[in-house]
Every structure is written in structure tokens, then in C-alpha cells.
């Protein structure tokens, strides 16, 4: 599957930058292209300057709202971010139209952080504009949820997240939810921590996108998981996870004469990788709430047999009882069994519901506060008018 990725705001731009790195890696390691183009859109010129892999011309690093923000961002006011996106959306649409490999694009992926101003406000607006223009292709969103410390200290963060999530749900074909807190490493420096988080966010897409674009016959699976399967799976709230189980090197020197215990280990590695993928889903959720799911097994050909495939299918059916399940194999890795897992059409996402509930309370408190301020202002004006003036 080939994606055209648009990163909006600081968080979205940095993740789009990682997708640009990912397609370079796919080109070098596997001779395939998985990202037809990667764009970064922002109201802050400094954020655009800090990217490493997205091309530096004005059609790939797009500054919007220059007259309103002077290139310094919107200060977490996502209503302003949405307004600027509406006014300058033509810049982004023109850049998408100019993409050299637009015709090869299977779907669009727009990425933004829910807590900020530019990305949070711009992602639903740009999704709507692109849907109006390219309604024959799916348009997916990836929304990155804030850290816990941001939620505790900044009420505006909760408000931005809730308004962003509601808006994208109304326009996007599917929304990948990513909880920043699940990737954090407390002892790492802020910059390196964020870089590692962004790299981990995009890593699960690597095998999933490569599998359907593979060109060499020996690496094409017996059951290919391609763009059609992915498109049929992705609907509404979605999460993605990735798990790996290492294969002992001894296995490669004893093929054909392995002990019966080694045969059992093959199945265990597959289940182990599946369990890791579930525990590493981009947002904590209950798999039983998924109505659609897919998994991709990437492993050496000799490690993939009918017993392993059957056990994985049984395991998946047990954890996602109500889901339509699609699966595939990709004979690529050498020393590990990897599982990529997508759970979609989630019917109950407690984190999202929490944002909505807290925002309603926040709006109610703001209204009461403004009512009190208006009454105080009225009392002040009445008292002010009763005081004689010396002028």
C-alpha cells in the first residue's frame, strides 16, 4: 500500500518526517516505495526548519497563516488553526496535486497532535478539503493524544483534544489513535525521547505497507495482505501495534533435523509476537470492542507453516470475537517473527469518551466564570458611575 502523508503542526510534521525516513529505508532495504510523498504544514517557520527527511522546498514544507501569525504559530488556539487552514488550504491542495507519484497513491494519511493549535485545528479542515477533491480514495487521520502531564496542567489541552477528535470523526474514513504516554521513556532527554516516540509510532506501518508492494517472488507471501485488505479493514476509531519474537540462531543450523521441542517453539514465537503486538497497541483498548481487524506475520519462510497460521487465527478470534478478521504472511525477516496488528471500528474508546466528558465540564465552568466576571464588571461600572469626576 502506498500512502501520501501530510503532517500538520509540530507533532504532525515530525511524524510525517519519520514516514519520509521510513520510505527511504524501504527503498534501500527492499527496493520498494511505500510513501508517494510526505508534506509538512505549519504556522511556525521554526518547526518546519527542524525537519530532516522531508524535502526543503516550499511545496513540501508549507507555511500557512504567515500574515496572521508572522510565522510564529497560533499559541494553542485551535479555532485559529482551523481558520487559517480554511483560508490557506489551496496551498496544501496545490502541493498534493503537484506530487510526482500522486496517481500511485492508494490513500492519504493526515497526521496531527490533538493538544496543539495548528495541527489540532487544521487536520479536520484539510481532511474535508481533500475529501471534496479526492473522494475516490480513503483519507485516514492519525491523531496523537497528549501526555498525562499536559492533561493535568493545561485545561486547554483537553478542550483541543476533544474538539479535534469530534471533528475528525465526522470527516475521516478512519482515525488511528496514538497515546503518547505509552511510548515515553522517563529517563531520556526530551529531544531524544520525542524522536524515539515518533520513530516508534511509524514503525508498525513498515511491514504492513511493504507487503503489498513487494516485487521479488521469493518475498511474496502465500496470502498477500495488500491495499484492498487494509482499506476494507480501516473504519472509524483504529489502533495499530507491532510485536517481535527473536528466533535463536541455532534454529538456522539445524533445519531438517530439529527436535520436536523446536517445532513447538515455532508456534510459541508466533503467539509471543502476537501478545507483544496487543500489549503495544498505539492506544490501550479492549480488543473485544473491535468490529474489524487484520494481522500480518513477517518471518523466515521456514518459520511459517499451517500450524502457526492456525494458532494465530484461533488466538485472534478469541480476543476479537465480533471482528471481521483479515490476515496475511510476508516471508521477509531473517531472525525474528514479527506481527503487525490493526484493530478497527472500535465501538468503545474510553480515552476519547473521557476527553468529551471533561470538555463538557470545562465549558460549563468557563460559562459560569464568565457569568461571574460579567456581574463583577456590572457592579464595578455602577460603582464607577456613582463616583464624582474631577475632569
Per residue in 136-164, pLDDT (tens digit) is 999 999 999 998 888 888 788 999 999 99
Rounded CA-CA distance 178/160 in Å is: 15
Percent of the chain clearing pLDDT 90 (strictly above): 68
Alpha-carbon distance 123 to 354, whole Å? 21
End-to-end alpha-carbon separation of the chain, Å?
76
Task: Identify the residue whose cell numbers are 494458532.
Answer: 311
pLDDT of residue 193: 77
Helix or strand run (H / E) with residue 316: helix 306-319
SS percent in the chain: helix, strand, coil, step 5: 55, 20, 30
Do the beta carbons of residue 332 and residue 298 sit within 8 Å? yes
Per-residue pLDDT reduced to its tens digit, 159-177: 999 999 999 999 999 999 9
Distance (Å, whole) CA 260 – CA 247? 16
Distance, in Å, from the CA atom of 184 to the CA atom of 187, rounded to the nearest integer, reads 9
Query: What torsion, rounded to 10 degrees, do the Cα atoms 100, 109, 178, 113 define?
Result: 80
Query: Which domains are delineated in the chain?
Result: 3-202 (3.40.50.1440), 237-344 (3.30.1330.20)
pTM score, whole prediction: 0.89
Give the pLDDT confidence score for residue 255 in this predicted structure.
52
Beta pairing class for 324-330 and 61-63: unpaired
62 has which bridge partners? 41
Run of H or E residues at 112: strand 107-113
Q: Which residues of 133-152 are buried (b: 16+ CB within 10 A; e: fewer)?
A: ebeebbbbbbbbbbbeebbe
pLDDT score for 373: 61
Q: Write down the pLDDT at residue 383.
A: 65
Question: Phi and psi at residue 32, in whole multiples of 5°?
Answer: -130, 155
| Residues in the chain where the model's pLDDT stays below 70 | 185-192, 249-266, 369-376, 379-380, 382-384, 386, 389
pLDDT reported for residue 75: 86
Amino acid at each position: 500500500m502506498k500512502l501520501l502523508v501530510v503532517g500538520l503542526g509540530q507533532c504532525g510534521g515530525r511524524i510525517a518526517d519519520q514516514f519520509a525516513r521510513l520510505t527511504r529505508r524501504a527503498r534501500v532495504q527492499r527496493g520498494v516505495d511505500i510513501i508517494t510523498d510526505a508534506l509538512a504544514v505549519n504556522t511556525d517557520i521554526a518547526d518546519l526548519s527542524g525537519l530532516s527527511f522531508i524535502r526543503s522546498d516550499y511545496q513540501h514544507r508549507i507555511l500557512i497563516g504567515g500574515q496572521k501569525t508572522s510565522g510564529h504559530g497560533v499559541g494553542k488556539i485551535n479555532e485559529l488553526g482551523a481558520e487559517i487552514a480554511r483560508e490557506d488550504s489551496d496551498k496544501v491542495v496545490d502541493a498534493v496535486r503537484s506530487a510526482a507519484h500522486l496517481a500511485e497513491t492508494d490513500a492519504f494519511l493526515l497526521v496531527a497532535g490533538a493538544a496543539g493549535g495548528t495541527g489540532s485545528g487544521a487536520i479536520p479542515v484539510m481532511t474535508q478539503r481533500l475529501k471534496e477533491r479526492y473522494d475516490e480514495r480513503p483519507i485516514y487521520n492519525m491523531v496523537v493524544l497528549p501526555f498525562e502531564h499536559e492533561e493535568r496542567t493545561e485545561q486547554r489541552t483537553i478542550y483541543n483534544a476533544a474538539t479535534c477528535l469530534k471533528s475528525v470523526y465526522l470527516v475521516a474514513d478512519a482515525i488511528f489513535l496514538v497515546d503518547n504516554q505509552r511510548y515515553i521513556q522517563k529517563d531520556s532527554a526530551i529531544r531524544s525521547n520525542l524522536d524515539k516516540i515518533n520513530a516508534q509510532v511509524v514503525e508498525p506501518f513498515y511491514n504492513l505497507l511493504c507487503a503489498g508492494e513487494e516485487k521479488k517472488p521469493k518475498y511474496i507471501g502465500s496470502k498477500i495482505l495488500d491495499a484492498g485488505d487494509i482499506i476494507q479493514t480501516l473504519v472509524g476509531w483504529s489502533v495499530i501495534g507491532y510485536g517481535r519474537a527473536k528466533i535463536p540462531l541455532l534454529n538456522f543450523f539445524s533445519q531438517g533435523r530439529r527436535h520436536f521441542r523446536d517445532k513447538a517453539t515455532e508456534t510459541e514465537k508466533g503467539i509471543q509476537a502476537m501478545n507483544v503486538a496487543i500489549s503495544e497497541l498505539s492506544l490501550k483498548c479492549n480488543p473485544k470492542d473491535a468490529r474489524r481487524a487484520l494481522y500480518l506475520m513477517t518471518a523466515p519462510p521456514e518459520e511459517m507453516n499451517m500450524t502457526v497460521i492456525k494458532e494465530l487465527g484461533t488466538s485472534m478470534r478469541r480476543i476479537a470475537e465480533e471482528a471481521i478478521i483479515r490476515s496475511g504472511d510476508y516471508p521477509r525477516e531473517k531472525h525474528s517473527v514479527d506481527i503487525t496488528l490493526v484493530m478497527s471500528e472500535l465501538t468503545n474508546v474510553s480515552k476519547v469518551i473521557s476527553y468529551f466528558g471533561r470538555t463538557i465540564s470545562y465549558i460549563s465552568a468557563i460559562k459560569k466564570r464568565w457569568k461571574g466576571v460579567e456581574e463583577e464588571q456590572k457592579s464595578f461600572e455602577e460603582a464607577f458611575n456613582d463616583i464624582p469626576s474631577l475632569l
